[in-house]
Amino acid sequence: MISNLSIGQYIPGDSFLHKMDARVKLVISMILIILIFFVKSLGGYIAFAAFLIIAIAFSSIPIKLILKSIKSMWFVMALAFILNVFFQTGQTLIWEWSFVKLYKENLIRGAEMVVRLIMLVEITSLLSFTTSAKELTDAIELLFQPLAKIGFPVHEMALMMSIALRFIPTLINETDKIMKAQTARGAAFDSGSLISRIKDMIPILIPLFINSFKRADDLALAMEARCYSDSAKRTRLIEYHLSWRDYVAMGITAILLVLIIVGI
């Protein structure tokens, strides 16, 4: 499962989405994430799915990577489906056994939640695959720059996010290596009771935390050796400007937004 995680991964490319302004991609992603929970009709889901399929086609990202990112969230999706189906009350009872009752409305609600989670994973995966950590943090810093006038630490926040995004793939790979090393020594992470599985995670978490603190200390020493100062005024090597791709993407997003609002 660790190797299936795609959070923080960036795939270099020359596609339509890769060439878009990172600020526009971030804003559109946030709009879509909020908008997805307002979709109520079948037509709305079809329109949203068509939008994502077009986005995937214009990203030049292999479909197997998108499916891989969805596969890594199967447990969350299954849990969301079960909670919506069996722990909610409905009106149309279609099946009953002992204290377990199954309602038609709950099945629809559970299916909608799974579809929303799949679309949510696709949105975040596309943003991660087509936007580097540096572009993403630059976009966050530029979007929140007006808050710096009232004393909000915009640069520090962007720096923390940049470091976090940079080390997520590193920690995932390191966790995978530790698990393989422990498996080679006879550890079993997929068998036994829940308590035993939790205990088996201790030999993974301890070296992972130690290595994480060591990496943080090395990074702090490297930044200090380079005379890093959070109060210094910095310029950027690359200046961000909107292009026709950004206006096209914003236009299509606006059309989708209108269709969802009017209840297609």
Q: Structural domain of residue 248, as residue ranges? A: 1-131+238-264
Q: How far is CA 32 from the centre of its chain?
A: 13
In this structure, the answer to whether residues 63 and 2 fall within a common structural domain is yes
183 and 67, same domain (yes or no): no
Whether residue 71 sits in one domain with residue 176? no
| Residue 254 and residue 203 share a domain | no
* 68 residue type, one letter: K
Would 219 be classed as within a structural domain? yes
3-state helix, strand, coil in the chain (%, to 5): 70, 5, 25
At 219, is the secondary structure helix, strand, or coil? helix
First to last CA, the chain: 37
Q: Is 203 helix (H, G, I), strand (E, B) or coil?
A: helix
What distance in Å separates the CA atoms of residue 104 and residue 121, rounded to the nearest whole number?
26
Task: Based on the fold, state whether residues 208 and 243 are members of the same structural domain.
Answer: no
What is the pLDDT, as a whole number, of residue 1?
Answer: 46
pLDDT means per 10 residues in the chain (264 residues)?
57 89 92 88 86 90 83 82 77 71 80 90 89 84 83 79 76 81 74 70 82 86 81 70 90 87 68
State residue 206's pLDDT score. Answer: 85
Q: What is the pLDDT of residue 2?
A: 47
Query: What predicted TM-score, i.e. pTM, was given to this entire model?
Result: 0.74
Neighbours of 106 (CB within 10 A): 22
